[in-house]
Amino acid sequence: MKKLILLMCGLALLGMAACKPKEDPINKKIMGLESMAELGTVEYTVTKIIKANDPKWYKYGERKILFSSVAYIKAGIDMQEFSMNNVTYDKEAKSVSVVLPRAKVLSFNMPPEKINLVFCETTGSRKDFTIEETNDLKVQAENSIREDIPNLGIIQDAENNAKGFFKVLLTQLGFEIITIKFE
């Protein structure tokens, strides 16, 4: 009798374990993305030429200077702005809709060691460019690159790459109808 009771209890425990709701792999996978800080999807390397020609009509001679600089721009999705509330899916229909935050520049780096003097010429009675003047030119170069970011297409590329990333991920999870939008 004891063996029968133990067997019944064991079967009951097995039955309860089998009935335990399983964690949804879709939620688990997407929630893992939610915990990421950023999803960098594209990086551009931009080279900028900085030049200055300083002819003064009242001074004899000219001053010319030329720098090359490199900036690294990374763009993608700030996953801190993403929420599972922006994901709706129907497992039976194998369809999913995801609304992602708009892509943005995640980092901008213009290392000083990547700013190189290419050419400098001072003629006549003119003085060389001062450190302050060369630093001002470098700041102008950085500002020029930052202002040009909307024209580079980096944001559009970042969003297209994010769409591709999510489509592959969601296809691997078994979805066939995938809609990805940006808010």
Tens-digit pLDDT profile for residues 28-75: 666 666 667 788 889 999 998 888 877 665 667 788 888 899 999 999
Q: What is the pLDDT of residue 8?
A: 42
108 CB burial (10 A radius; 0-12, 13-18, 19+): middle
Q: What is the pLDDT of residue 25?
A: 62
Q: What is the pLDDT of residue 34?
A: 64
18 lies in some domain:
no
115 lies in some domain:
yes
97 lies in some domain:
yes
3-state SS assignment for residue 48 = strand
What gap in Å lies between CA 54 and CA 65, rounded to an integer? 9
Q: What is the pLDDT of residue 31?
A: 65
What gap in Å lies between CA 73 and CA 109, rounded to an integer? 6
Residue with tokens 């060691």: 113
Q: What is the pLDDT of residue 152?
A: 93
9 lies in some domain:
no
94 lies in some domain:
yes
Domain that holds residue 100: 24-182
What gap in Å lies between CA 35 and CA 123, rounded to an integer? 59
15 lies in some domain:
no
Number of domains in the chain: 1
The verdict on pTM exceeding 0.85 is: no
Q: What is the pLDDT of residue 109?
A: 95
**Pick from 78, 85, 86, 84: which is nearest to 40 by CA?**
78
Local confidence pLDDT in tens for the 183 residues of the chain? 444 343 343 434 444 444 444 556 666 666 666 667 788 889 999 998 888 877 665 667 788 888 899 999 999 999 888 888 888 988 889 999 999 999 999 999 999 899 888 888 888 777 888 889 888 888 988 999 999 999 999 999 999 999 999 999 899 888 999 999 998
